[in-house]
Amino acid sequence: MSIPGKEGMSQTAVTVERTTTSGGGQMVASDVVVERTLEGKRKRKTGKGLKNLDRAHDNVSRALEHLSAAVSDGLLTYRKEQKRSAEKKKDGALRDVMRNSGKAMSDGLKTLSKVPRDISRTVDTKPNRKQVRAVARFLAWPLGR
């Protein structure tokens, strides 16, 4: 049995521990054990030369996902607050536009705050750190005489 979205699960194994035969020749199971085993996480297939590019692509796409989620969260909050203001008082949506915008920006910025971390994951890799050290040594050499 395969469950959609759960490709890592194997099929279900059913074992019968004790069986007895009744007088009519039928087998009756007294204990049934259902076992589900999870397969290991599948390894990504990426060549050696493109491994860093693949990781960078993952991190950038995650950053873009968080960026779009931030816009969505902000707009959702704005629409909810606008509707609430309009129901409370006459011209409430127009009166409270600044307050509602502020709440929406606050919610959007909470999600948007994840983007710099995603980008720094892309930039902060071992080869990049080595290169920064080499450039720093090169620039510090004339000053260190």
pLDDT in tens, 81-103: 999 999 999 999 999 999 999 99
pLDDT digit string, tens, across residues 56-77: 888 889 999 999 999 999 999 9
- Decide if 19 contacts 1 (C-beta within 8 A): no
pTM: 0.55
Spatial neighbors of 21 by CB under 8 A, at least 6 apart, are 27, 28
**Average pLDDT over every residue of 27-49:** 68
Residue 38 has pLDDT above 80, yes or no: no
The two three-digit tokens of residue 2, written as one number: 């395969």
Residue 15 has pLDDT above 50, yes or no: yes
